[in-house]
A = this chain, B = another copy of it.
């Protein structure tokens, strides 16, 4: 009975995920589901990325957090349309939550939809939101042992952004070993190395180009 209910929840999620997927396809939108631990730097990465994407593609963001609209305010300040979801304790976004937000966007005008999930390296990996791909953001400060200890997210993601590379000199992390461990888990994963710290930004251009290429390829408006 417990399993039946879980199956029910997953089926409901898949139903809405399919609806979202259809909405993205009908409007030529490339959708990414951005996940990672709290403080991996997801919102800062998006702010910095939108700086590069400005004038090149039309983006929008769905923001997920337990509470507050702080991240949405930061994205709105970049001139990007954004809707905040507060899960009020919920540990991940589900496809129904995202479906409810889509009516709030001018979808035919968009090329790229970024869904920033609740900060959590575990649960969000299990839920399809209708996205084309999951992108994992991880701070170097989380430590080199995390890929092996939290393999689910690394298996689910098409790309991983190793963020806060500016802190490498001050922490005991072997970045090359970390990348090897990631590729041991998922040999197909694309790895980016970034720093989004003011005055020390690097690598974000490559990540922005990646999104641009994906959204451009997908978009009927390109």
The chain B residue with its CB closest to the CB of A36 is B38
Does A38 contact B2, Cβ atoms closer than 8 Å? no
Q: A39-B142, A122-B123 are in contact. Are A148 and B2 (CB under 8 A)?
A: no
Q: A150-B38, A167-B167 are in contact. Are A145 and B70 (CB under 8 A)?
A: yes
- A63–B118 alpha-carbon span in the complex (Å): 24
- Minimal beta-carbon separation of A9 from chain B (angstroms): 7
Chain A contact residue count (CB 8 A cutoff) = 43
Does A141 contact B91, Cβ atoms closer than 8 Å? no
How many monomers of this chain does the complex have?
A: 2
Does A149 contact B38, Cβ atoms closer than 8 Å? yes
- Minimal beta-carbon separation of A73 from chain B (angstroms): 11
A66 contacts chain B at the CB level, 8 A cutoff: yes
Cβ contacts under 8 Å, A139 to chain B? 39, 141
- Minimal beta-carbon separation of A202 from chain B (angstroms): 15
A143 contacts chain B at the CB level, 8 A cutoff: yes
Q: Which of B9, B89, B149 contacts A152 (CB 8 A)?
A: B89
CB neighbors of B among A1-30 (8 A): 1-2, 5, 8-9
Does A121 contact B122, Cβ atoms closer than 8 Å? no
The 3 A-B residue pairs with the shortest CB-CB distance, nearest first, are A39-B142, A91-B122, A141-B141
Does A66 contact B151, Cβ atoms closer than 8 Å? yes
A108 contacts chain B at the CB level, 8 A cutoff: no
CB neighbors of B among A97-146 (8 A): 118-123, 126, 139, 141-143, 145-146
Does B198 contact A121, Cβ atoms closer than 8 Å? no
Q: A121-B119, A150-B119 are in contact. Are A142 and B38 (CB under 8 A)?
A: yes
Does B171 contact A68, Cβ atoms closer than 8 Å? no
- Minimal beta-carbon separation of A66 from chain B (angstroms): 5
- A25–B198 alpha-carbon span in the complex (Å): 52
- A139–B9 alpha-carbon span in the complex (Å): 34
Cβ contacts under 8 Å, A150 to chain B? 38, 65-67, 119
